Structure 1
Amino acid sequence: MKNNKIEIFTAGCPLCNETVKEVESNFSKYEIKIYNMNEKSNLEKSKSYGINKIPAVVVNDNLLDCCKNEKVSIREISEALSN
C-alpha cells in the first residue's frame, strides 16, 4: 500500500486555519505535515514545490493544481491520494 503524504503550507491566518481543519477532518488517516511560512526554515521547502501563495496543499510531493490558482479543493486532494 502506498504511503500517502499531505503537506499543508500555511501562515496561520483564518483562511489557512480553515484549510488545515478541513484537510485534517477529511484525511486524518493519512500523514499530514503542516509548514508554517512564518518560520523562515520552511521557505526553501515551499520554493522547492513552486508555491507562490498560501494556503497550499502538496500531496505525495506534487503541488495541487487548485493551489496554483484557486482555493484548496478537497475533491482534488481525494483524487491525488487515489492515484
Structure 2
Amino acid sequence: MGSKERGPGRHYECRGCGQPLYATHTHQEDSPVRDWEIDHQHPPSACPLERLLPLTGSADQAVHLPQAPHLLLPLPH
C-alpha cells in the first residue's frame, strides 16, 4: 500500500520565477522509486516555465525526474 507524504526534507524554488515549489510523493515501502508531483506553492503571476509544471513522474529522488534540472533550484535545509 502506498503512502503520501511531503518530499524528503528538500525545498526547491522555481528556476523560472524564483517562487517556492512543493514536492509530494507516494511510494511503496519495498521500492526506492517514488511517484512525484512538484508544482508552485501558489500560482505565480508570471513564470516562463509554468507550462512545464506540475512536474510528475517516477524516480528515486525528485532531482532525477525528466526536466528537473531545468526547473528545480535546490535550497539549503
TM-score, normalising length from structure 2?
A: 0.31
Higher strand proportion (structure 1 or 2):
2
Higher helix share: 1
After TM superposition, the score normalised by the length of structure 1 is 0.30
